[in-house]
């Protein structure tokens, strides 16, 4: 099954000049969605993953079933102001400023083996900030998984010290 056949391009979204990679057709196809999660599961089934950390919001869609399949805990990383308990945060650069992501301080224990999941790797800024959060709590990042990677944006360069897996590359 070619997963990329179920990704829709939306030109000029969220702003002119950007081609948004819409994963909703893949999610709407039960067989394709299951296949994507199964492929990710196969990649990490024997890696001893204890915690799956997923980035808001589309990362949750992939991260939760992946954690379930791996028998691992699930930890959400959220945008600022969305988590209720004591937290840590990390900032990352945008074209026009900065944003931040947050995680609860008790999200995982030091030394736990962590897989971080998101839907798309572009420049790598959000993922780099998430790695910072996991490592500040003492987690061991054993891999980073994406459904899609936009290779022209060189996000791997920021993440070069980590094992990266992406199912679809553009």
Domain assignments of the chain as residue spans, ordered by start: 45-169
- Whether 58 is catalytic: yes
pLDDT digits (tens, 9 = 90+) for 77-121: 999 999 999 999 999 987 678 999 999 999 999 999 999 999 999
pLDDT at position 132 is 98
Q: Which CATH architecture has domain 45-169?
A: 3-Layer(aba) Sandwich (3.40)
pLDDT at position 96 is 73
Please list, in sequence order, all residues whose beta carbon lies within 8 angstroms of the beta carbon of residue 34, skipping any fewer than 6 positions away: none
**Positive or negative torsion for Cα 18, 125, 115, 105:** negative
Of the candidates 6, 50, 58, 149, the residue annotated as catalytic is 58
pLDDT at position 54 is 98
Q: How far apart are CA 102 and CA 124, in angstroms?
A: 16
As given in the structure block, the two tokens for residue 50 are 């204890």
How far, in whole angstroms, is CA 153 from its chain's centroid? 16
How far, in whole angstroms, is CA 33 from its chain's centroid? 16
Confidence class of residue 22 from pLDDT cuts 50, 70 and 90?
A: very high
Whole-number average pLDDT of the chain: 97
- Whether 86 is catalytic: no
pLDDT at position 97 is 80
Question: Closest Cα to residue 27, out of 3, 44, 53?
Answer: 3
Contact in structure between 91 and 99 (CB atoms under 8 Å): yes
Bridge partners of 53, per DSSP, are: 75, 116
Of the candidates 4, 42, 50, 95, the residue annotated as catalytic is 95
**Strand ranges, E, within the chain:** 8-11, 19-22, 51-55, 73-79, 87-94, 97-104, 113-121, 140-149, 164-169
């Amino acid at each position: 099954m070619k997963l990329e056949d179920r990704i829709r391009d939306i030109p000029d979204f969220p702003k002119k000049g950007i081609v948004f990679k819409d994963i909703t057709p893949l999610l709407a196809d039960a067989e394709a969605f299951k296949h994507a999660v199964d492929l990710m599961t196969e990649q990490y089934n024997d890696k001893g993953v204890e915690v799956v950390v997923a980035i808001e919001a589309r990362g949750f869609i992939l991260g939760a079933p992946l954690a379930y399949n791996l028998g691992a805990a699930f930890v959400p990383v959220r945008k600022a102001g969305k988590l209720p308990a004591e937290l840590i945060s990390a900032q990352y650069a945008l074209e026009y400023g900065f944003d931040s992501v947050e995680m609860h301080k008790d999200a995982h224990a030091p030394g736990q083996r962590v897989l971080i999941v998101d839907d798309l790797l572009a420049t790598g800024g959000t993922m780099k900030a998430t790695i910072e959060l996991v490592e500040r709590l003492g987690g061991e990042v054993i891999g980073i998984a994406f459904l899609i990677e936009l290779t022209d944006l060189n996000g791997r360069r920021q993440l070069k010290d980590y094992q990266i897996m992406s199912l679809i590359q553009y």
